[in-house]
Structure 1
Amino acid sequence: MVNNSHGRRRLGTALLGGAVALTLAACSGGGSGAGGTTAAASGSAGAGGGTVKVVAATNVWGDVVEQIGGDHVEVTSIITDPSADPHSFQSSPRNQLALSSAQLIVQNGGGYDDFMQTMISSAGSQAPVVTAVDASGVTPQDGELNEHVWYDLPGTIKVADAIAAQLATIDPANASTYRANSATFDTAVNGLITQAQAINAAHDGAPVAITEPVPVYLLESAGLSNVTPAEFSEAIENETDVPAAVMNQTLALFADKQVKLLAYNEQTTGPQTEQVLEAAKTNGIPTVPVTETLPDGQDYLSWMKSNIQALSQALGG
């Protein structure tokens, strides 16, 4: 599973030259807490026909907010570029300004986007915060937390419901709309869960390989078994060299046809991941690319549907 220090390194270190140095004249006070949600800000933010201003750490959670809030929300997603490596992050004055006026903040948590706490504090924001890891209810396995909770379909339903509850508190005039949109979203995600379960029924326990733990929750929903050496995926995720013995063990998964597919993070490539990808292709093992941010032209639901379909196709239906 994922080493939490990885998340802090990935999305936190580049911040030092960005948002930390930014100062807004109107900023004062402390930041919001890091729990599942903090207490809602006072007043009705949506009163007078205005929209609720929401800042999301990534466009994944930003899209979920838009599906719940519809025309009643104005969302700024900090990480949006589908071609960018989310392991390297640079803040901007625009993002910091958005946080200073945000009425709701949605972060991932679990060490993935620790830069958010620094930015929230720097902006002096007192807005309520939904932390996806906490709201999803995921727990560490073998002492490690996989923070990529947007690939956990049941957990995403819980996050969407937490967002709807916060929006309803901030903007009670449109509470019924938020709840209805959340119910619609939940139904759609449950449909995705059913599709994943169909893979489980046809390929229960099928061994698969990964480059990083990004899609593990989805693989587990589909009943697939990740047999990649933990030392390999941890080294790739932490951007350290894979020990030679571990690399050989990983490559043997493909040479010996021990796995049915390779799910790889196409946003973070390097010599060792490329070597594994080439080994899969050379040995006729299907490859399934996954990403950490929302691809262009897709929303959360269509994105997860395409991921599930790609898994099914790679396994032969």
Structure 2
Amino acid sequence: MTRPVTFPTTRGGRLKLGLGGAVVAVLAATTGCSTSSPDSGADKPSASAGGASAADAAAGSSKVIQVVAAENFWGSIAGQLGGSHVKVTSIITNPDTDPHDYEPTAADARTVATAQYAIVNGIGYDSWAAKLLAANPAPQRSVLTVGDLVGIKDGGNPHRWYSPTDVHRVIERLTADYKKADPADAAYFDAQKSTFETKTLGEYNSLIAQIKATYAGTPIGASESIVSPLADGLGLKMLTPYSFLSAISEGSDPTAQDKATIDHQIAAKQIKVYIYNSQNATPDVQQQVKAAKAKGIPVATVTETLSPAGASFQQWQVTELQGIQRALAQATGK
């Protein structure tokens, strides 16, 4: 059903954007040129991020793979791995947009229609993206669904970009897929991957190792399930009931029992650090943050998408990891 553009708030006040069912009519008529969505912010070739040199690229082909990413955290990685041989357009780039409830625009449909490669998160996180791809079939297009790659099905935790292990699995697959799509530039893509993993992600990898070595087993609390894969990767012990984390993440009401459990954990200082998603600070979460600070429990923040919107994946993650490291140091004296 076609409906006008509206701007209701969802999940803690974040905007739900789109044209609803009106896009469906556009999909079938979509042709030719590729146009990024209004908030894509990525309608230009991605920087090589210090990878293979221009001379190396010249030794291969002049091919540029047209890539669309449902979310900018995967788009940032895809662009840096592909360098001058990809052009990446990310659909979700606005920090105020809720990826769970996004409604594609006509511009998104045109971008997808001409993409040769698509990256979607899956696991029920961006079901709109799968529908958009299905409505725009293209024989030449390959699709990477991250949930399928890492073996997480619908109903599991979809926030795989916060799992260091899964991030590296995505890096491996992207590189392999780029080489398959553009064999003439295989050496270039291998060089990009090597540089990205060893240099570009150097500080990211180092912080993860440092935090795990120093603070493994430290009990923490969190606002939603976005923190769970990161806590696992850092070796931290999550005390917050997963049912609460999932409820906040999905925009549903947590149970009174879960809230009481968390209130007790904070009051008794059973958790050493509280980590919350500042892009989804519901009243319950705000109250927990306030209570944690009142008890002298250090608070750290994460966000669901790149913040600021123009940051790279590694800049964003390093800033958050540094904040978590500081909070852990303050809490434990280590």
Q: Do both proteins adopt the same fold according to a TM-score greater than 0.5, normalized to the shorter chain?
A: yes
Structure 1 residue 106 displacement after superposition: 0.8
Deviations 1:48-104 (A, max 9, x none): 734211000100111011111112111110100123333331311111101100010
SS in 1 for 2:111: helix
SS of residue paired to 2:112: helix
1:17 aligns with 2:42: no
Q: Which AA in structure 2 matches 1:129?
A: V
Which of 72, 78, 81 is the equivalent residue of 2:94?
81
What is the 5 A alignment of 1:109-258? 109-126=122-139, 127-135=141-149, 137-139=150-152, 145-188=156-199, 189=201, 192-258=204-270
Counterpart CA distance in 1 for 2:142 and 2:27 is 21
Report what 1:274 is aligned to.
286
- Contact 1:15/1:89 (<8 A) preserved: no
Q: 2:314 aligns with which of 301, 304, 316?
A: 301
Q: Is the 8 A contact 2:104 2:128 kept in 1?
A: no
Report the Cα offset of residue 173 of structure 1: 2.2
User: 1:149–1:217: 8 Å Cα contact kept in structure 2?
Assistant: yes
| Mapped partners of 2:157, 2:250: distance in 1 | 13
Structure 1 runs (4+) deviating above 6 angstroms are: 12-15
Kindly indicate whether the alpha-carbon contact (under 8 Å) linking 1:86 and 1:267 is maintained by their aligned counterparts in 2: no
**For the Cα contact (< 8 Å) 1:18–1:91, is it kept in 2?**
no
**Any residues of structure 2 matched to 1:26-37 within 5 Å, and which?**
none
- For residue 130 of structure 1, give the secondary structure of its aligned residue in structure 2: strand
Q: How many residues align?
A: 286
SS in 2 for 1:49: coil
Does structure 2 conserve the Cα–Cα contact (< 8 Å) formed by 1:84 and 1:267? no
The residue number in structure 1 matching 2:11 is none
Deviates more, 1:286-295 or 1:60-69: 286-295
TM-score by length of 2: 0.78
More RCO (CA 8 Å, sep 6+): 1
* 1:171 alignment partner AA: D
Q: Runs of 5+ in structure 2 lacking a partner?
A: 1-13, 32-59
Q: 1:107 aligns with which of 120, 126, 130?
A: 120
Alignment gaps of 5+ in structure 1: 1-9, 28-46
> What whole-Å deviation, never above 9, does each CA across 1:16-71 have from its counterpart, x for those lacking one?
435334334257xxxxxxxxxxxxxxxxxxx9734211000100111011111112
Matched residue SS, 1:292: coil
The alpha carbon displacement at 1:163 in A equals: 1.0
**Which shows bigger deviation, 236-245 or 182-191?**
182-191
User: Which amino acid in the other structure matches residue 70 of structure 1?
Assistant: G
- Deviation, 1:277, is 1.6
Q: Which moved more, 1:194-203 or 1:301-310?
A: 194-203
Deviations 1:89-130 (A, max 9, x none): 131111110110001001111111111111011122331011
Identify if the C-alpha distance between structure 1 residues 255 and 133 changes in structure 2 by more than 3 Å, giving closer, same or farther: same
Gap change, CA 1:86 and 1:114, over 3 Å in 2: closer
Q: Quick check: 283-292 or 184-193, which moved more? A: 184-193
**CA 1:313 to 1:64, structure 2 compared with 1: closer, same or farther past 3 Å?**
same
Whether 1:260 and 2:272 are equivalent positions in the alignment is: yes
- Over aligned residues, Cα RMSD in angstroms? 2.6
Report the equivalent of 2:81: 68
